[in-house]
């Protein structure tokens, strides 16, 4: 028989009830509540303790001292709130509330294993329940990829570690993952096997005219400019297969030939301005524009973690690479699903670190458009998104609200908490209240990928070489030693 830890008191709804405890449980602990439709599983969401004799009405400390001297602590009570999660079998919600006096019992390991540790072909383990460390927590990969995932927390709380754990296990299942690695954190790790590192380069000849136009800042509402630009683009497509030279050079050469032609001076100045924009484009994106680079689709390796190394490029260039990759991936997957002719035969899971930079709330970026397209359409074409951010309030709320699954680690900042809550109806006030008290690596896990919301200690990924906190003092002292070595060589000792 399971241990009784309390009784339901007061008013209850089918979703929530208050209990008076005999033996106080822990926050986040799972309990069984006696119910006429059969025991239901619940989670302890709030705990409050008090004392009848030491109530709020006391205003004299001597009264407290006297009561304490009497040594009578029996009137101390602990009340708790339990959120009903559903019946033990399928977590279906009961249609009536538990009755006053109903027993609240400790949920056994067997029950919890049944709910949280579903081991099937499509599930992976990410950690263990905080309150029941013996219970592993598995997530359903199908739900995670098709309904997208957001990993949110303040800096250093364990987001990248969670990414590493998930990607490692998804790849072991045979999955294909793309990580946009803004700080070259993953490039030296192994994730489910050897990773495939992609250089942050893009070949303009694989870009669409609109994509290039945006990058070159040729404004579409200047119709004359757009007309000449598109002509040059078409011409370059033709020439690229026949003549040597880069795609942009072909465009420039064509436009220069027009400059010489007998055109009205107004048109000539439009052409000159496009050429200037192309020059500026080459300077701005020097390093990421490479006319010899292969198409990103052919550089992706199936059944592996593909890490796009963006650590050495600035945000603007990263935006170009990410948006281009997202667009190409979605388009190839669409072709595959609709016509069976795409070059990506397998579904993909796309991980965006620093998602608030790539898809910000109050600014337009190239990637933001494709992030929201994939957030809305990806499900049908097997393209999943994982948005990782330490600033939820700066992240595009539209994209965030499309992420049905969430792993929320420690968040202290109230505005960030509110944004996370707005994006997920499953995150109750009581769960939000727990966020500041989570330790590193501890998370609230929500959404379709788990049967019930869970407080989870995420596994520690064994080898993550970069990304951990730097030991600043050690690094400084190392520098000091190096300087001293250098000095030694300069000092001339009298013979
Ligand atoms: N689940 C965990 N268990 C134990 N330690 C952890 C766990 N997750 C993270 N850590 C520790 O915290 C450190 C920081 O974690 P991580 O790099 O994942 O944080 P982050 O949220 O990605 O930070 P940032 O916002 O700076 O990217 C890790 O190096 C590791 O030592
Ligand atoms: Mg990180």
Q: What superfamily does domain 123-130+135-200+293-472 belong to in CATH? A: P-loop containing nucleotide triphosphate hydrolases (3.40.50.300)
- From the CA of 153, give the closest atom in ligand 1: 21
Nearest protein CA to atom 1 of ligand 1, as residue: 441
Residue 366 Cα to ligand 2 middle (Å): 23
Q: Which ligand is nearest to the CA of 470?
A: 1
Nearest protein CA to atom 18 of ligand 1, as residue: 158
Cβ atoms 319, 180 nearer than 8 A: no
Q: Which residue has the higher pLDDT, 173 or 223?
A: 173
Q: Which residue has the higher pLDDT, 113 or 495?
A: 113
Task: Average the pLDDT over 210-215 and give the result.
Answer: 85
The pLDDT > 90 percentage for the chain reads 64
Backbone angles phi, psi at 212, to 5 degrees: -65, -40
Task: Average the pLDDT over 84-90 and give the result.
Answer: 90
* pLDDT reading at 482 higher than 80: no
Q: What is the pLDDT of residues 366-417, one digit of tens each?
A: 999 999 999 999 999 999 999 999 999 999 999 999 999 999 999 999 999 9
Ligand 1 site-directed mutation target among 130, 354, 440, 470, most atoms within 8 Å of CB: 440
What pLDDT does 336 receive? 95
Closest CA to 348 of 386, 308, 400: 386
What pLDDT does 211 receive? 84
- Which pTM was predicted? 0.86
- pLDDT, mean over the chain: 90
* pLDDT reading at 230 higher than 90: yes
Backbone angles phi, psi at 429, to 5 degrees: -55, -40
* pLDDT reading at 73 higher than 60: no
**Given pLDDT bands bounded at 50, 70 and 90, which one contains residue 243?**
confident
- For the chain, the residue count is 495
Measured distance CA(218)–CA(198) in Å, rounded: 29
- Tokens standing for residue 187: 């490039």
- Tokens standing for residue 385: 């998104």
Nearest protein CA to atom 7 of ligand 1, as residue: 441
What pLDDT does 28 receive? 82
* pLDDT reading at 296 higher than 70: yes
Domain ranges within the chain, ordered by starting residue: 4-107, 123-130+135-200+293-472, 205-284
The pLDDT > 70 percentage for the chain reads 95
* pLDDT reading at 465 higher than 60: no
Residue 155 Cα to ligand 1 middle (Å): 8
- From the CA of 459, give the closest atom in ligand 1: 1
Residue 395 Cα to ligand 2 middle (Å): 16
**Given pLDDT bands bounded at 50, 70 and 90, which one contains residue 467?**
low
DSSP H stretches of helix in 98-158: 109-116, 141-146
**Given pLDDT bands bounded at 50, 70 and 90, which one contains residue 205?**
confident
Ligand 1 site-directed mutation target among 150, 156, 168, 394, most atoms within 8 Å of CB: 156
* pLDDT reading at 464 higher than 60: no
Q: How would you list the strands of the sheet with 348-352, edge to edge?
A: 136-140, 123-129, 454-458, 442-446, 405-408, 149-152, 383-389, 348-352, 176-181, 305-309, 196-199
Task: Average the pLDDT over 308-325 and give the result.
Answer: 93
Ligand 1 pocket, residues with Cβ under 6 angstroms: 153, 155-161, 390, 440-441, 458, 460, 467-468
3-31 in b/e form (b: 16+ CB < 10 A) is eebbbbeeebebebbbbebeebbebbbbb
Q: Which ligand is nearest to the CA of 356?
A: 1
Closest CA to 382 of 123, 140, 145, 141: 145
């Amino acid at each position: 028989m399971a241990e009784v830890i309390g009784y339901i008191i007061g008013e209850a709804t089918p979703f929530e009830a208050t209990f008076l405890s005999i033996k106080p449980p822990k926050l986040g602990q799972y309990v069984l509540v006696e119910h006429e439709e059969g025991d239901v599983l619940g989670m302890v969401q709030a705990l409050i303790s008090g004392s009848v004799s030491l109530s709020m009405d006391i205003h004299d400390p001597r009264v407290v001292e006297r009561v304490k001297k009497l040594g009578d602590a029996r009137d101390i009570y602990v009340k708790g709130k339990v959120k009903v999660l559903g019946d033990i079998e399928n977590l279906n919600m009961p249609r009536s509330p538990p009755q006053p006096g109903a027993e609240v019992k400790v949920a056994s390991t067997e029950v919890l294993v049944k709910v949280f540790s579903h081991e099937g072909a499509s599930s992976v383990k990410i950690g263990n329940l905080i309150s029941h460390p013996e219970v592993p927590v598995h997530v359903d990969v199908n739900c995670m990829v098709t309904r997208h995932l957001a990993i949110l927390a303040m800096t250093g709380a364990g987001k990248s570690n969670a990414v590493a754990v998930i990607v490692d296990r998804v790849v072991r299942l045979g999955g294909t993952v793309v990580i946009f690695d803004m700080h070259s954190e993953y490039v030296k790790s192994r994730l489910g096997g050897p990773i495939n590192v992609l250089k942050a380069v893009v070949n303009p000849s694989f870009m669409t005219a609109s994509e290039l136009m945006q990058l070159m800042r040729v404004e579409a509402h200047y119709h004359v400019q757009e007309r000449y630009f598109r002509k040059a683009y078409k011409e370059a497509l033709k020439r690229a297969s026949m003549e040597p030279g880069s795609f942009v050079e072909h465009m420039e050469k064509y436009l220069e030939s027009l400059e010489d032609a007998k055109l009205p001076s107004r048109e000539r100045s439009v052409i000159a301005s496009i050429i200037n924009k192309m020059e500026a484009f080459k300077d701005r994106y020097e390093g990421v524009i490479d006319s010899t680079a292969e198409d990103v689709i052919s550089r992706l390796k199936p059944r592996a973690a593909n890490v796009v190394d963006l650590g050495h490029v600035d945000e603007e260039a990263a935006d170009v690479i990410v948006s281009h990759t997202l667009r190409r991936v979605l388009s190839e997957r669409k072709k595959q699903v609709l016509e069976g002719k795409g070059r990506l035969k397998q579904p993909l899971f796309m991980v965006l670190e620093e998602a608030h930079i790539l898809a910000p709330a109050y600014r337009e970026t190239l990637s933001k458009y494709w992030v929201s397209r994939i957030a809305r359409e990806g499900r049908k074409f097997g393209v999943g998104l994982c948005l990782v951010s330490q600033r939820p309030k700066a992240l595009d709320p539209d994209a965030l609200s499309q992420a049905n699954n969430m792993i929320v680690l420690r968040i202290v900042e109230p505005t960030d908490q509110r944004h996370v809550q707005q994006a997920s109806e499953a995150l109750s006030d009581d769960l939000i209240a727990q966020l500041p008290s989570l330790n590193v690596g501890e998370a609230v896990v929500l959404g379709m990928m788990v049967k019930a919301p869970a407080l989870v200690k995420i596994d520690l990924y064994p080898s993550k070489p970069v990304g951990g906190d730097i030991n600043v003092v050690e690094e400084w002292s190392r520098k000091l030693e190096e300087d001293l070595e250098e000095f030694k060589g300069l000092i001339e000792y009298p013979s």
